[in-house]
Amino acid sequence: MKKSKRAITPEDLTKIEVLSEPQFTKDGTSYTFVSTKINENNEYEANIHLQQLHEEKSTPWTYGKYNNSNLSFSPDGRQVVFQSNRSGTPQLWIMHTNGGEARQLTTFKHGASNPHWSPDGKYIIFTASLHEDDDVASQKELSKEEKQQLTEAKSQEPLVVSTLKYKSDAEGFHDDKKTQLVSYSLEGNTFTQLTKGDYHHLFQDISPNGKQILFTANLSDNADYELTNDLYLLDLHSNEIKKLNERSGYHQRAVFSPSGEKIACLGHEYDYAGATLTELYIFDLQSGERLCISNEWDLQLGDYIIGDMRLGASENGPVWSKDGEKIFFIATDRGSTGLYQVDLESNLEILHKNDSHVFGFSYHKETDKFIIGISSPTNPGDFYLFERGSELRQLTTTNKEFLQEVFIATPEELEVTTEDDWKIQGWLLKPYGFEEGKKYPFVLEIHGGPHMSYGQSFFHEMQLLAAKGYVVLYTNPRGSHGYGQEFVNACRSDYGGKDYEDLMAAVDYALDNYSFIDEDRLGVTGGSYGGFMTNWIVGHTNRFKAAVTQRSISNWLSFYGVSDIGYFFTKWELGHNLMEDPKKLWDFSPLKYAENIETPLLILHGEKDFRCPIEQGEQLFITLKHLRKEVEFVRFPDANHELSRSGNPKLRIARLEHICRWFEKYL
């Protein structure tokens, strides 16, 4: 392999621009999107761009070192409202599409988000975190000094906890604020709170006639003990709230049909707990009936491909056609995602799927065109115009200069047949500067979830390890999404069982079929569930010479009580909670097998990880150190479970450097 380009580095994280949120303008001749990058201050900044479909370059609509996103066009297309933190707190801003400065709309103490226009263009509906006695008419944004004073005051006060759901990895410790729906009148310059109560209300859609709002919530008195997310209809005239689903479950992405007579909604009823495939429901508002369109499919709706370069959110569907006869959405299948279409008789059609990662789309009802966001293993992501019967037309070349400068390895897809005849999909990257006849060290990567999926998407960490001279193997063992209901459910109550065997079978396959792998220099790493599995592997085999476990689980007994999801996830995934069968949980815990570990182990963990709290890493480190094993512990300050994907850029780079350092030392 000729080294015509340089190898990728950890610092290249700062050179990659990430695209998200494609959205057609009203006339369909152009579209907007969000571009996120890391600036010279090692901070994320996201700005909104506009691109004409006939032009090669986009025009920035927003500037500066801020995060601007969630743009929404007015019905006449003359104005946009969007979310920005330029004032210091995420607030709503409005500006004209023909130019001019943006004007701040909200000054809510805890910010405002997710804006949507009413069909007549007279109102903007949004969400805000409010205390029970907050007055939306007199909200005042805190200054930087006031925020600091409030933080210092809280740090000197005890936290009184009386609820089960008192913390989350995304938000930290909760207080009594709840997400409420608020309406802003452009004519009267007034705010009206639409929902109240000690519940979170998540806006979904507004009806075509502007008289009703869809939202999801759990309004039960037992909400603190339940994981349900019901679908509700709010009548804006009478303030009457009506629950639409009969059975409890999880509902999201609900949208009105163009006529307003039907609602498309994604969701499920936890038939397989957290491993349940997502369904597409149609609610008929006239008959009150609910139809499951996807009942006969064995397909996971939505984007479940993971990576470390997908900042920002994008539309996954469902989205209605103009005539209300078809619905468009993204689905995950065998390591890739595609754009799908279904009619109301459940006839499914693939519109675009080409061994890549479709991470978002926008549909223009009048022209029947799509803007599709696509990432591949060799491209972080660009936007394309898709028209039926025509070839994709690339609209952006965002990272062109970077890709011309840096060598990006192309993965080779492989399929492993296990002893019980299951098919396991995987990919292998050859190292930078590969030479025939030479032996190379090897690293097995294991994804988290466990119900997520590796796939045909750009992954900086994988490319970095290949650039450092390693053969990289990543696979989707049973438990991964994209291979049907039986497959994704198969690891539950069997952690460290067949899923472990799948991974080892993949390693054996690689050694048998790729003679350039040095079988005496094998490494393994993974995060979250992948961290658990890394811990499990080194406790059950000594074939690996180095391991890096990240944000892992080591002890299910304590995980039950310390994780923000432990009280239900433990039961979901292992079949038992702490009180039902502590011995079973201990049998599933890698810590039980610490004496067996001979592999040098690096433990990486975020100090503020509430999903897999840092005590999981602490227990493993202290145990191994006490046993005089080769182990090291790296703690990342102010980092939560999302460190590798959206954490502090400096810490993300440091994390990658530690991984490379450990493998270089022992492999």
> Which residues does the annotation mark as catalytic?
528, 641
DSSP letter assigned to residue 223:
G
Distance CA 272, CA 270 (A): 5
Q: Enumerate helices (H) and strands (E) in the chain, giving the number of each.
A: 12, 39
Rg (C-alpha) for the chain, rounded Å, is: 25
C-alpha closest to that of 332 among 218, 243, 219, 455: 455
C-alpha closest to that of 358 among 422, 415, 315, 300: 315
DSSP letter assigned to residue 277:
P
Q: Write the single-letter amino acid at 644.
A: S
Task: For residue 63, count CB atoms less than 10 angstroms from its CB and return exposed for 0-12, middle for 13-18, buried for 19 or more.
Answer: exposed
Residue 158: alpha-carbon gap to chain centroid: 33
Q: Write the single-letter amino acid at 399.
A: N
Distance CA 32, CA 396 (A): 12
Other CB atoms within 10 A of residue 514 CB: 16
**Is 424:418 a contact under the CB 8 Å cutoff?**
yes
Contacts of 381 (CB under 8 A, 6+ apart): 18, 19, 309, 310, 357, 359, 373, 374, 375, 398, 458
H helix intervals, 385-472 = 400-405, 460-467
Evaluate the CA torsion angle 521, 526, 529, 531 in order and state its sign.
Answer: positive
Distance CA 395, CA 371 (A): 9
Q: Write the single-letter amino acid at 509.
A: Y
Element housing 255 (H / E): strand 250-256
Sheet holding 59-60, edge to edge: 18-24, 30-38, 44-52, 59-60
DSSP letter assigned to residue 283:
E
**Is 492:275 a contact under the CB 8 Å cutoff?**
yes
Q: How many CA atoms lie within 13 A of 551 on its CB side?
A: 26
**C-alpha angle 400-82-643 in degrees, rounded to nearest 5:** 60
Asked if the bond preceding 450 is cis, omega within 30° of 0, the reply is yes
**Is 95:101 a contact under the CB 8 Å cutoff?**
yes
Q: Write the single-letter amino acid at 582.
A: P
